[in-house]
Structures are given as structure tokens and as C-alpha cells.
């Protein structure tokens, strides 16, 4: 789970000035939290529409799934509200890092379009092709692949690895300044609407 926090001095000062003027600070916090959640959802949905998969035209809709895990705002005190992103793979996109094989003993990395988005078992079920394990090398330095036999010969579908290092996605989250600007605009709008009702 990732929690978004804004604690930069410029933002804190501007937001503090607005919230000090409103009659119902708790309501303004909730409105601001909803704006943050909406901005995050919009960002992830845009990524889902505009960033193509590298291996296949079939879409996994990862970013759409991430957008669906953006929580409703949760007030954590008189002056704090949080929005969480609970997709289990999202932190890996934000921070990057090593992914290690656990139960299966090896990661199956798809290298051919048919393998994209499918586990090895699903690949066999959906394509009707049997996968064969091929190893090259001896001792601890072995390279292994899963290949399917076709009329033209063996086609490598997956490379097997104990671990991979995934780079972070620098655009996994929206630009912080853009989020702050949207939240401040929403807070100002709330204050102005509240003032009109007096």
C-alpha cells in the first residue's frame, strides 16, 4: 500500500491559509482528499489508455486495475487526510527493485506475444501447445527456457529466471506540483462557495 502525503512548505503554507478561513475545516479536508483521489484515478486511467504494452497488442489493463484501488479519503486527525493506493504491484512500479521467484522456483518471463499476460499453465490451456523445458549450461550457470513445439520447430515462449531487477516508473505517480495545484484550486473553490452561503 502506498499513501500519498503533501508536506512541502509552500503547499502547507498556502493550504493552511485557506483552511484557517473556512468554517468547516473537516469538510474542506474531505473535499481536498476527494480531489486527490480523482486526480490519481485520472492519471492511472490516462496511463492505461496511452501506454501500450511492449510485447503484445492484448492489454493487461494494469493501470486501470491500479485506478480501482485508489481509496476514498480517510481523515486521520483534525488537520490530516490520506488517500491510499492498495494495488499489490503498484509499489514495485513506484520504487522498482528486485522481483524474486518464490513458490515456483523460477519466474517465467514472456518473450513471445502468445505468452504475454499468461502463466505457463494458462498458455498451455489456451493455446493447446505443450511447453518443454530446455536448459543450456552446467552447474550454477544454467539458462533455461520454456518452448513450444510447432511445425516450424521450437519457439521460445518464456525465459526462466530466479530474479529480475525492475526499473522504477518515473511517471507512476502524477507530478507532485500538479497534484498540489489541483488540491489548492479545489480548496479555494470550497472556501469561495462557503463564503457565498453566508
Render pLDDT for 116-165 as a digit per residue (tens, 0 to 9): 888 899 999 999 999 999 887 665 556 788 889 888 888 999 999 989 99
pLDDT of residue 54: 75
pLDDT of residue 136: 74
Backbone angles phi and psi of 175, in degrees to 5: -60, 130
114 CB-near residues (< 8 Å, 6+ apart): 123, 127, 157
Backbone angles phi and psi of 68, in degrees to 5: -75, -10
- The residue among 59 and 2 whose pLDDT is bigger is 59
pLDDT of residue 11: 87
In terms of Cα–Cα distance, which of 7, 28, 8, 26 is closest to 186? 28
Q: Per-residue pLDDT for 198 more than 70?
A: no
- Residue 38 parent element (H or E): helix 25-50
| Section 1-18 average pLDDT | 79
In terms of Cα–Cα distance, which of 1, 86, 2, 71 is closest to 38? 71
103 CB-near residues (< 8 Å, 6+ apart): none
Give the residue extent of every domain in the chain. 2-97+172-196, 99-163
CA distance 98 to 168: 11
Render pLDDT for 54-110 as a digit per residue (tens, 0 to 9): 777 778 899 999 999 999 999 887 778 889 999 999 999 999 999 998 877 888 999
Angle between helical axes of 9-19 and 176-196 (0-180°, round to 10)? 10
pLDDT of residue 196: 76
pLDDT of residue 106: 86
Nearest 5°: the CA angle 62, 147, 52 is 25
pLDDT of residue 185: 96
| Section 161-181 average pLDDT | 93
Render pLDDT for 179-196 as a digit per residue (tens, 0 to 9): 999 999 999 999 998 877
Amino acid at each position: 500500500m502506498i499513501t500519498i502525503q503533501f508536506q512541502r512548505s509552500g503547499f502547507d503554507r498556502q493550504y493552511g491559509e485557506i483552511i484557517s478561513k473556512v468554517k468547516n475545516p473537516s469538510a474542506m479536508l474531505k473535499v481536498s482528499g476527494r480531489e486527490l483521489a480523482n486526480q490519481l484515478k485520472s492519471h492511472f486511467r490516462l496511463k492505461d489508455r496511452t501506454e501500450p504494452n511492449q510485447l503484445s497488442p492484448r492489454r493487461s489493463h494494469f493501470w486501470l486495475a491500479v485506478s480501482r484501488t485508489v481509496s476514498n479519503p480517510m481523515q486521520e486527525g483534525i488537520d490530516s487526510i490520506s488517500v491510499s493506493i492498495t494495488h499489490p504491484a503498484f509499489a514495485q512500479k513506484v520504487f522498482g527493485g528486485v522481483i524474486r521467484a518464490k513458490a515456483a522456483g523460477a519466474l517465467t518471463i514472456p518473450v513471445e506475444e502468445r505468452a504475454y499476460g499468461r502463466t505457463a499453465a494458462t498458455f498451455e490451456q489456451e493455446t493447446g501447445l505443450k511447453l518443454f523445458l530446455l536448459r543450456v549450461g552446467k552447474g550454477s550457470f544454467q539458462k533455461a527456457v520454456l518452448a513450444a513445439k510447432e511445425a516450424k520447430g521450437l519457439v521460445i515462449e518464456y525465459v526462466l529466471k530466479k530474479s529480475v531487477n525492475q526499473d522504477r516508473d518515473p511517471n507512476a505517480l502524477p507530478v507532485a506540483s500538479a497534484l498540489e495545484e489541483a488540491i489548492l484550486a479545489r480548496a479555494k473553490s470550497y472556501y469561495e462557495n462557503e463564503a457565498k452561503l453566508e
